[in-house]
Amino acid sequence: MNKVHKKIKHLNHTLIVWAEDNKYPTNPGNPGTDYTIPPRKENKIFVSEWKDDLKFVTKLDRWLSEDRTLTSKELQMCNQLYEFYSGVYEKRN
């Protein structure tokens, strides 16, 4: 596993931890039944659903497992995702 693949795996984990920390009950009157994960917003503008970001990162992880290489645009997108979702580590410290 190379350095980029390790970073993609870390990003995948970061997305999951962020979702756990930011989910909220869909039906507050019946807690524990279902949760909603908020979409990614930057400057209060909707950018992407969390599940779409997770699918993207999971796809890249699979590609790297198959010894494929990532494009510079894919790596740039990963950096943007990490900038947004990595705030979870700042909150925990």
63-76 per-position pLDDT tens digit: 999 999 999 999 99
Q: What are the φ/ψ torsions at residue 6 (nearest 5 degrees)?
A: -65, -40
**For residues 6 and 11, what is the distance between their CA atoms, to the nearest angstrom?**
9
| H-helix or E-strand spanning residue 55 | helix 50-65
- Least confident among 6-10, 70-74, 76-80, 84-88: 84-88
Query: Residue 38 to residues 4, 9, 67, 70: CA-CA distances in angstroms?
Result: 27, 22, 33, 28
Overall pTM > 0.75: yes
Average pLDDT over residues 76-80: 95
